Chains A and B, each alone.
Chain A
Amino acid sequence: MVGSRAHIRRAKILTWVALLLGAGFAGLPVLWMVASSFKSNLEIFAYPPALIDDSFSFEAYLAVLGDPAQLRFFFNSYLVAIFVTICTVVTSILAGYSFSRYDFRFKRVFTLLIIGVQSVPPITLMIPYFGLIVWLGLYNSYAALVLTYMVFTLSYAIIMMTGYFNTLPRDLDEAVMIDGGGSFVTLWRILVPISLPGIVSVGVYTFMLAWNEFLFALTLTRTNDMRTVPIGIHLLMGQHSFEWNQMMALSVLGSLPVLILFLLFQRYFIAGMSAGSIKG
């Protein structure tokens, strides 16, 4: 079923059109955010709106970068997000493996429990949860944030990991088992390498959540040296007025490292990279 040249060309053009349309949908609002970060607060609301106007300047960026408190927010966000990502990924691989490859008595109960934990609106949990963190002596610490975000992300991560493992044929691990490898060996030597795309996508999800969470970051910390970027953004929303351009600049700055990280990891999403190894 090899298409003719013309056929391939038409498919290529169609793909390009679709890609560009999609990019417009995804990227234009963000382009507007970037443009706004270079405008004055007056021009952000100007009509007719312009992408770039006379007020173009780096002032908002200088204001954000010149503030040591904001830089500290960045450092904290990294630290917390990286720890959460590592811990969640490892924990969810173990749990996902258990759910995907074993049948055991309380499997359905545990699955429901893990879903249930995620199902209570965080706003209502906030006060009792806050009390528990204070009681545990974790108030205003990185540990409080890392553990909290793990609670948030684990359900998603486990269910996704279970889903990925379920897409992999079972004969794979059984072959290793027959060769005398234990279940742990099977998991780390066979399943984990094949599931790297899935693991990376779970990791990206976890990182994003930890990076962007606001409510608990604010409640569980007290001093500015423990706080994260979303709080920095909210601090620019004043009682009477917003620093629109600085908020946008801070968001753009905050997104850059995340995007770079994604660029680094995206080779795991390249077609055919891992598929070859699953000739089950």
Chain B
Amino acid sequence: MKRYLLAVLMILLLVAAGAASAEDVTLEFQQWWEPELPEGSFRAILDEFEAANPGIKVETISGPYLTTKDQIIASAATGTMADVVGLDGAWVNVLWKQGALASLSQAMMDADYDDSELAAQIRLAGQTYMIPIANFIYPVFVNLDMLAEAGIEPPTTRAEFAAAAIALTDPDNNVYGWAQPLSLEQPNGIQNDTMSWLWASGGSMLDEMGQPHLAGNEALSDTLEFLKSLHDAGVVAPGSFSMKENEKVEEFVNERVAMIVNTLAHFTLIRERNPDLNFDITALPAAEGYDGPRGLPYASWGIGISSNTEHQAEAWKLIDFLTSVEGNSKLTSIANAFPGNVNATPDFITTDPLFETAFEIFQEGYLANEFTGLPAAEELMRQMAEPFQFYLEGDIEVDELLELAQAEWEDIFE
């Protein structure tokens, strides 16, 4: 009898212990997306994941976008990094160098995963470290009323754009054709509003080896000369050298700027802020005579796994869910983004005519953001922005600008 009781107790204990250990996996997920999305909507998606994967809980650690990279670096250096992290293409390289990211190629192999549905993977040294799960492309937004008043069509070439910008500008009424944010705090204006012109005409800022190719790059110097001609013509909104992305949009929303290069992520915002604004989107104008596919700058919400995680398999399950047709459709629907899974269909693509246009632009062009995965990408942009400002002020010539930037970039690439 006694023995029997003991055995039962032992079994009970073992079962209890087993149950406890099975439900004890909590994944920490550090990202900046939760505050960006409608309240509670991101949690709802994670709840679905938890329901589908009993035994795994996801705890979100949310912070402001601007400090997320610094926070991940600091947490990786102190061993407190979350299991799963949201990533921007500009951060991957440094975190990889730091050894903070686990190879996703390995995780995919362990999980026997078929990656054919993924739209893109960010690879370094042959291994995947980030998977973009939501993409925001940057077409040109045009104010249709202002264009109609000036009697012009949305421009398709650089010459047309310059002509349109001149026609639209009226400084006495504080109206300008274009805005170019070149803040040195957030130098992503170099990526979105500067290099994008190069990519839209099939150009590249890197050579075949993936090394900087600025000095002696004719397509690039043409692009920068074109942009300077806009500044010299006085059609660029004032305050350019300290303007940030969010202020560029506010200028557009207030109808003081007629055309901007801008992310699709702003659709809802623009409509909310100024419901009367009549705007459309169009592909970035190309150089005269170029009729190849146009590179489209984009920003991604990417995802990666910490190299220190004790729950790699579970972490991969979360990524698997967020990149699956179902999970990815839901996330990109609430984020107004293009999906990271080629088969996912966010609902807005069929219900919103502007997104339909965007989708056409997206299909005719290709995703081009050469800064993704580069070392110290943000510093590269800044080292371009600084001499570019000197060039726009007339202190230096375009060749000097490119040589200066080339030297700085080579330093960083070393």
Contacts and interface: CB of A to CB of B under 8 A. Distances in A.
Contact of A237 (B66, B80, B266): B66
In the complex, which range does the number of interface residues on chain B fall in? 20 to 34
Nearest to B247: A45
Contacts of A40: 273
B263 interface: yes
B87 to A, nearest CB: 13
Q: Which secondary structure dominates chain B's binding surface?
A: helix
Contact of B71 (A42, A47, A219, A235): A219
B297 to A, nearest CB: 14
Interface stretch (A82-90, A123-131, A180-188): A123-131
B78 A127 contact: yes
Interface stretch (B203-211, B248-256, B359-367): B248-256
Contacts of A222: 61, 80
Interface in A38-64: 40-42, 44-47
Interface in B78-131: 78-80
A279 interface: no
A235 B35 CA distance: 7
B21 interface: no
B63 to A, nearest CB: 6
A107 interface: no
Contacts of B67: 218, 234
B63 A218 contact: yes
A239 B63 contact: no
B269 interface: yes
A242 to B, nearest CB: 5
In the complex, which range does the number of interface residues on chain A fall in? 20 to 34
B331 to A, nearest CB: 15
A237 B63 CA distance: 10
A224 interface: yes
B100 to A, nearest CB: 13
Given A234-B67, A235-B35, A241 B174 contact: no
Contacts of B66: 234, 237
Nearest to B272: A41
B144 interface: no
A42 B254 CA distance: 7
Interface in A217-231: 218-219, 222-224, 231
Contacts of B35: 235-236, 238
A240 B254 contact: no
B78 A130 contact: yes
A41 B66 CA distance: 21
Contact of A45 (B65, B80, B251): B251
Nearest to B79: A134
B254 A235 contact: no
Contact of B273 (A41, A127, A130, A234): A41
Contact of B65 (A46, A47, A231, A238): A238
Contacts of B79: 134
Interface of B: 32, 35-36, 61-67, 71, 73-75, 77-80, 174, 245-246, 249-251, 253-254, 256, 263, 265-266, 269, 273-274
Interface of A: 40-42, 44-47, 126-127, 130-131, 134, 139, 218-219, 222-224, 231, 234-242
